[in-house]
Amino acid sequence: MGWWMVFSGVLWLVFWAAVMYVIVTLVSESRSRPQPAPPRPHDPMDIVKRRYAAGEISREEFQQLRDDLTGVRSQDERETI
């Protein structure tokens, strides 16, 4: 009966060591994974360029939107002032 108590004590020690190993491995692996970057807000100029490339807006509309977004007046506006 004495050897069984020693053997069961060793088994419990191995069991808890394995449980702790699994916990430590899971925690350290979850910390080492790179976190996904937060979604970037879309740049308005990128949206205008994409719409122009897709043919959703004309060249004049593109130029007007570009000028509005960049704050630069087009050649036509400069001539009228």
Please state the pTM of the whole predicted model. Answer: 0.42
Under 8 Å between Cβ of 48 and 70: no
- Using CA atoms, how far apart are residues 54 and 24, in angstroms rounded to an integer? 51
Mean pLDDT across the stretch 36-44? 77
Other C-beta atoms closer than 10 Å to the C-beta of 48 total 20
74-80 long-range Cβ contacts below 8 angstroms, 24+ apart: none
How confident is the model over 14-23, as pLDDT tens digits? 999 999 999 9
pLDDT of residue 78: 55
Under 8 Å between Cβ of 48 and 69: yes
